[in-house]
Structure 1
């Protein structure tokens, strides 16, 4: 097929045909169709589809020559997000080598990286020179650095093979140069659609993180879902195409970013814009105008931070057509702020997990106006069920566990059959461990909390989300999270950790002010007994509150002196 025919093929790809492709298939077809089109925009520079494929092929060749090379095994990608081009080349290089990409947060400690390598029996690690050399010599004792040049950029990629817990330097890849020719057996190994492409690590709020396995065909199916469903529905069903620009503040190493935006952009043939290592509200809005962004995919926390600032020329000039939120609860107050700031954008709220990846339900249009906190209705071909503790279907309005089933979802947890059996039943349903209900009148799904997060305060049971919704409605607060803490009498007590609004337009609320605000809107049992004020909440790159870090923060803030209270 010629370039025009390939582009047309990709434009008309449905989810069944998508399931027969691999990620290397997808990028190679896109490169043949539009080789010089911009694939990635970033402050470090832009990259075309051809440049991306060449960079990934260089890394793939190096991996294939490693002594420990084994197809279908995990390779950790621990790459500095200061240059997202390096991140996506490394990730796709792993996929091209027929290994499994296991992307890691660039803020992890070396100890954590070693633990991940052990937990998934990784056969190699791709790391930025600067991330590695930032650690003390004694922490690097398992790493053999023989042959490593003392020169070079902190962003250069180093490839280490892993053998028995020891890390051996295989190669340094600088901008894809010097890739060895490899016409041997390993170069002919290509992944199949049913092979695992990606390990999506869970947050690990209860115990060690688990690694959800997403296949190559599943990744392409999920990208197709975003292009033709999640991003398309809010603008009248018009699929994403080459004329669009997707922008995301979600770091390039997060699995949801990889599937939901990066490979969705490959399928559509449009650029994806990543703005750098950490979220900068001003830079994000400037990029919307500079890039001509049409689709913005973020978490509620990202939008809330942008809305904290005054409306600027960039806000007014933005031509974004669709803004999607996910990863954390949406509030009515934030929805109204977004509508006022970006009146031309259609705002949509979607729901998924690492185990299911892209939007499985979507709330947009009149339903979003009706209740922006709801997460909508299933997107075809997703199946949705809400069941009670006995596994029986719940009637509309009754709360239970939310179950999802759709093409592209995880096929299991890597090296963890016991947890796989807990989460995927015999009929292919994924047990989300989220509780919720489908509205009697509107048919919209609403999430009430996590099964494990339910608070039992002296026998009165409820979920943190309903308290957090009220706290986030306080005009003097920019962010809020609720914790259940041990109590010798009640069993559990309730405290809130909040961030005051930076602009100060609504004063400086204190503990009594916030509690009184809650009393006017909640039953007495749901009012936090203490309010702790912090500069910011610990959130992941996708905007979710990191519970373990929040508990550690609360431990530090328990004394009145630490909290700045009299």
Structure 2
């Protein structure tokens, strides 16, 4: 696209044109239109679109002038999300250089960063000084044996080359040593590696192209965020707010570059979710669109309503990443009576809202995840690959522009997840309702529980548990059993100081589930281990159960 076409795209973005753009194109055209407008709001400070591009280009120049620079290769971004400005500057700097951005969780250890670097053959790592300063001496020495250098990079970002098992600090370039430009990416080049959660093994890196990222951002602006408020697209008068950490790929595509396309601010409050601060920011920023996970809304709804709650002018609240319950939907409507609540579904391999439940459908059944968002195609198939009839459960398949083109350096896993027809096999089990045509997810293929030959999925048990008024959160877990093969236990969090007993919870389940689905044990915990996007981290849940059982055995 030429400059005139790109500028016209600002005023009337369309899906096909979006696929011909790159993420650098998108930010550059936004800066030409509204350079002084606020791009990112954060407790650490605000960042305009113009400042963002300038600082990102400084990072790009630093990378291009270094011996670590290899176009179209992954660069890890391991930056403290307490300051979202650092995160977005580092990420876009990588993209501007023509490299692939691979964002990492800021809680990882140096050893884990090393494993990610080896898995994707990363050539460099960008690290924030603040993150390294907070590490243990051993972790710090693994990166900089001689200690941290003096500051000077934009927002104190440091560049390290990856050399086999080691990292080496890349010194700042001398004046005049920065080349005039890098390898400009094309729409079909990989922009982003979206690491899977790795709950069943080593994380895989889903590849999303530049054109795909822009198409997905366009779908959020004109579809997912627009439909619940009567089809009105996101524009400069809106404010998007999200508690989802800035390093998560879904945050990058769904909200960050959607905000760039719309020309509106995006508010991040930092990695550690604070329900009181979130509602305060809603009122202060004039948030119109809030994009979170059910767990975020549940924590806000547990607090007494405040002036901030009543002052909020949010028009749309979208939930994703975990099941929505009828009880939570009711609480949200009571707390924010003027808001349109929507529930959407996607995964790292497909990104953004592939299906959406809103409006009358949402009021009738908030646990459903809706209908496909154009141009997404949906299929539900049986174990033989044949189509399932309405009401019949099977594996959910999705196909849409913008989805991953494969797993980076992993053709075998790519072949398992994308078939010859271009369908992504989600590994989620669900069905389309006979009467209403809405998609419902009942579990994951890998999560299916086999309790003495009786097979079912955790989601249906968790939904019942979350219907207990004295429980704020719940997850169920299959544990080894010498007779049944697998037994079922529940990990629950009490709500608002109320403390039901294990017998109370099991009796509640017995009245609503078949006997085979009732947990044999109920464990009360302070909180469940959840990812930044609100999903229960099964590996950590298993470790928590093992620690509790080990403690019991030692008594």
TM over 0.5: yes
Q: CA deviation at 1:344?
A: 0.6
Q: CA deviation at 1:181?
A: 5.2
2:396–2:428 CA contact under 8 A, matched in 1: yes
Does the alignment pair 1:195 with 2:186? no
Q: Deviations over 1:137-189 (max 9, x none)?
A: 544555355695256899721101112332221146xxxxx99656637x142
1:115-194 alignment, distance < 5 Å: 115-140=115-140, 142-144=142-144, 148-149=148-149, 156-171=156-171, 184=179, 187-194=181-188
In structure 1, what is the equivalent of residue 97 of structure 2? 97
Name the SS of the counterpart of 2:27 in structure 1. helix
Q: Deviations over 1:390-413 (max 9, x none)?
A: 000000000000000000000000
In structure 1, what is the equivalent of residue 84 of structure 2? 84
State the alpha-carbon separation in 2 of the partners of residues 268 and 563 from structure 1: 58
Seen in structure 2, the aligned counterparts of structure 1 residues 517 and 94 have a Cα distance that, compared at 3 Å, is: same
Seen in structure 2, the aligned counterparts of structure 1 residues 3 and 280 have a Cα distance that, compared at 3 Å, is: farther
2:65–2:178 CA contact under 8 A, matched in 1: no
Does the alignment pair 1:73 with 2:64? no
In structure 1, what is the equivalent of residue 364 of structure 2? 370
Q: Deviations over 1:206-226 (max 9, x none)?
A: 110000000000000000000
Name the TM-score, length of structure 1 as normaliser: 0.94
1:313-392 alignment, distance < 5 Å: 313-392=307-386
Name the SS of the counterpart of 1:252 in structure 2. coil
Name the SS of the counterpart of 1:66 in structure 2. coil
1:457-468 alignment, distance < 5 Å: 457-468=451-462
Does the alignment pair 1:513 with 2:504? yes
1:556–1:562 CA contact under 8 A, matched in 2: no
Structure 1: any 5+ residue segments left out of the alignment?
A: 173-177
1:532–1:563 CA contact under 8 A, matched in 2: no
Does the alignment pair 1:474 with 2:468? yes
In structure 2, what is the equivalent of residue 33 of structure 1? 33
Does the alignment pair 1:211 with 2:214? no
Q: Of the candidates 541, 547, 553, which is equivalent to residue 556 of structure 1? A: 547
Name the SS of the counterpart of 2:188 in structure 1. coil
State the alpha-carbon separation in 2 of the partners of residues 336 and 171 from structure 1: 55
Bigger shift: 479-488 or 9-18?
9-18
2:480–2:486 CA contact under 8 A, matched in 1: yes
Bigger shift: 219-228 or 122-131?
122-131
2:344–2:357 CA contact under 8 A, matched in 1: yes
Name the SS of the counterpart of 2:170 in structure 1. strand
Q: CA deviation at 1:131?
A: 2.2
State the alpha-carbon separation in 1 of the partners of residues 39 and 176 from structure 2: 25
Q: CA deviation at 1:11?
A: 2.8
State the alpha-carbon separation in 2 of the partners of residues 334 and 293 from structure 1: 21
1:224-303 alignment, distance < 5 Å: 224-303=218-297
Structure 2: any 5+ residue segments left out of the alignment?
A: none
In structure 2, what is the equivalent of residue 309 of structure 1? 303
State the alpha-carbon separation in 2 of the partners of residues 180 and 307 from structure 1: 54
Name the SS of the counterpart of 1:558 in structure 2. helix
1:11-22 alignment, distance < 5 Å: 11-22=11-22
1:374–1:447 CA contact under 8 A, matched in 2: yes
State the alpha-carbon separation in 2 of the partners of residues 559 and 411 from structure 1: 44
CA RMSD of aligned residues (A): 2.2
Seen in structure 2, the aligned counterparts of structure 1 residues 466 and 510 have a Cα distance that, compared at 3 Å, is: same
Name the SS of the counterpart of 2:72 in structure 1. coil
1:382–1:405 CA contact under 8 A, matched in 2: yes
Aligned length: 555
Q: Deviations over 1:75-126 (max 9, x none)?
A: 0000001110000000000000000000001011111011111111110000
Does the alignment pair 1:10 with 2:1? no
State the alpha-carbon separation in 2 of the partners of residues 555 and 479 from structure 1: 19
2:141–2:147 CA contact under 8 A, matched in 1: no
Name the SS of the counterpart of 1:71 in structure 2. coil
In structure 1, what is the equivalent of residue 24 of structure 2? 24
Q: CA deviation at 1:466?
A: 0.3
Seen in structure 2, the aligned counterparts of structure 1 residues 6 and 17 have a Cα distance that, compared at 3 Å, is: closer
Q: Deviations over 1:450-493 (max 9, x none)?
A: 00101111111110000000000111010000000111111110
State the alpha-carbon separation in 2 of the partners of residues 560 and 164 from structure 1: 41
1:77–1:125 CA contact under 8 A, matched in 2: yes
